[in-house]
Each structure stands twice: as C-alpha cells, then as structure tokens.
Amino acid sequence: MTGVTTPQGPVERVPVLEVENISVAYAAARGAVRAVNNVSFTLHKGEALALIGESGSGKTTLALALIRMLVRAAKVTEGRVRYVKNGAAQDVLGLSEREIRRFRWSECAMVFQGAQNAFNPVLRLSEQFSDTARAHGKGDRAWVKRRTLELFKLVRLDPERVYNAYPHELSGGMKQRALLALGVLLDPQVVILDEPTTALDILTQRAIIDVLAEMQDRLGFSIIFISHDLALAAEMADRVATMYAGEIIETGTVDDIFYEPLHPYTLGLLRSVPRLSGSQDLISIPGSPPDLISPPPGCKFHPRCPFASERCRSEAPPLEDFGAGHLAACWHTDRVVEARQGLWSDGAVVTRG
C-alpha cells in the first residue's frame, strides 16, 4: 500500500490489481511472438490507468491476459496477477474455469475494441442485461431491471426506451453507453476499456468520456483505459503507462508523461500528435515497431531512437524510478530532458486536470 498526501492529509492508496512480471507469447509458424514482456504495475482503487503505445505494442494482449481471455495460441509464460478485494487477495491465473467466469463480469469487466457488434441483434437490451446477470448468479429479475434502469440513467440514456429496444434501434454512441452500463452491471472493481471510443465521431467520444468519468465518480471502480488517442487518455487517466514492443517503457502521472516525458519513445508519441495551434509540423516516429519473434538486442527502441549509443545497442535499460513513481527505461533520459524543451511552448494538445 502506498500513501499520497492531499491538503486533507495522507490518503492510503489501496491496490486492487497487482501485476507482476507478466509475459505473454503467441505460438506462430516462425516462432514465439513475444507480445508482452515482463510487465508489472499496480492499479489502485478508484484510479484510472491509461495504456498508450503504437499499434502492435501489446496493449490488448496484456489486457486479455489479466482476465484470461487470450486466444488458444497465446500463453502467459511467466508472472502473476493478484486481485485484491476487502483485504483478501486472489491469484487470477490460478482460478478454476468456473471461478474465472464469475471473476470476469463480477470483479473485472472488459469493454472491447469495436464494441458496436457486442450486442446480440435479435435480443432486446432488457434480455441481454438479464441474461448476463443470470449467468453470474444474479437471477432476481426485479433487481436486474432496477439496476439496469439506474445505469441507463447514469449513462444518460432514456431508460425505458432503451430497456425495450433492439440494438439496431440505437446509434453507435448509444450502443457504447449501453455497453458501459452492461460492463458495470455486476458492480466490478475494475473495468478495462480497450479503445472504447474508436469509430465514434469526436463529439460522441467526448460525451462518452464525460459519462465514464461520472460513472467512475459515482461507482468508484478502477479503470484500465487503452487508447491511441493521447488527448483522451490524458483527460481520462490519473496515471499513464507507455508500451513499446510488449514492455512498459515509461510510467507516471498524466503530468509526468505528457509534460515531462523521460523516454524518447514517449516524446516521439507526443510529437506525433497534432497541435491545436498548428504551428509545428507533425513529426512521426521514424521506422516501424520491431519484429517480436527476434527483437533487436539491447534497448528494443534503439533502431528508431535519435539518442541511441553503443550501450543502447547491447544492454537493455531497466525501468528505473526517477522520483515519485515516474519510471522510465532509458540510458539517456538527460537527452530527452534537453530535447523536450519547448514541447508545449506553442500550445498544448492536452489540457491539464
């Protein structure tokens, strides 16, 4: 348990998910695709952690490993996931099939990428909510209806209309709100959202983020928020973890990551976001992500890194604490500190707070 100090005094941060050295590999014809490597982090109660990184960096694989929904070809090769509730810890990877099924909705829910098709087109939403509850031992129809209507109200949907609707009667944004409601139906402590707003227009995205923040405020769950959209991640999260080639290469508070990045890759991601002022050219990170079957030696980012030295080419940097929980895996963070000067001088793309 760690402590933070607020104007009201120290507040204890209670862990709900402790991920220790998780690695995941997919069996492919050419060899093992090491999609997640030695990832560790702790998610605290009521906290929102954003996972950011380019396509293929392992965000979805990591999330699926946490709730044991990996495809058959994938295996967790090492590590541990501890889920803590009311002071008691469970070893998620050691749960039986029956226990993990209950765990998935009741303790840790996941809203997937491309959620538009998640609802069964031939069933009214009322039936889908009661089926989900029944499958997890909550057969009391009156309770399910009450809870569903309450949640629809919370996600700003017209409760009665949506309760009796078929999925095709709802817009994309409405379906996404209904899916958020379904995610928290059984009051999980952790909600994992994988690209929850992709495929929605920008106004709908913003509305969903507002709804999510309000739900979290009211229900107190913790969030793992996976997104390509750095501005949304900054708005939604308390802490951010940057993934590259299956590793967390930097983690810290939103301010640490967006205003004082220490890793060249995080800096590259920030520079590839369009500025509001439009006064600086968009700089994309040169090169492409490494082959995860035979990644480069040393720091995996070295073939793309402007600061790479001999040491980087042979020795992998450890994830080191640079103070107050701001961790980065880089031999030359001093170069990043110099290079980031002026990063936000022409108008920030993300807003603080």
- Under the rule (CB under 6 A), what is the footprint of ligand ATP? 26, 28, 33, 35, 53, 55-61, 71, 73, 292
Closest residue by beta carbon to Mg ion: 60
Strands 48-52, 222-226: pairing is parallel
331 lies in the site for ligand SF4, by CB under 6 A: yes
Query: Contact letters (x/-) for ligand SF4, 121-160, by CB under 6 A?
Result: ----------------------------------------
302 lies in the site for ligand SF4, by CB under 6 A: yes
332 lies in the site for ligand SF4, by CB under 6 A: yes
Backbone angles phi, psi at 218, to 5 degrees: -75, -40
Residue closer to ligand SF4 (CB basis): 217 or 310: 310
Query: Contact letters (x/-) for ligand SF4, 236-265, by CB under 6 A?
Result: ---------------------------xx-
58 lies in the site for ligand SF4, by CB under 6 A: no
Q: Which of residues 51-110 bind Mg ion (CB under 5 A)?
A: 60
SS3 per residue for 164-204: CCCHHHCCHHHHHHHHHHHHCCCCCCEEEEECCCCCCCHHH
Pick what 302 binds: Mg ion, ligand SF4, ligand ATP, none; C-beta below 5 to 8 Å, kind-dependent. Answer: ligand SF4
3-state class of 37 per DSSP?
Answer: strand
Pairwise CA distance, residues 36 & 13, whole Å: 27
Residue closer to Mg ion (CB basis): 55 or 341: 55
CA distances from 191 to 50, 65, 261 (A): 12, 14, 27
Q: Which of residues 41-60 bind Mg ion (CB under 5 A)?
A: 60
Query: Contact letters (x/-) for ligand SF4, 262-301, by CB under 6 A?
Result: -xx----------------------------------x-x
Residue closer to ligand SF4 (CB basis): 59 or 263: 263
Are the CB atoms for 300 and 317 separated by under 8 Å? no
Please name which of 11, 18, 176, 141 lies closest in space to residue 83, comparing C-alpha atoms.
18
Please name which of 85, 66, 87, 89 lies closest in space to residue 76, comparing C-alpha atoms.
66
Based on its alpha-carbon atoms, the radius of gyration of the chain, rounded to whole angstroms, reads 21
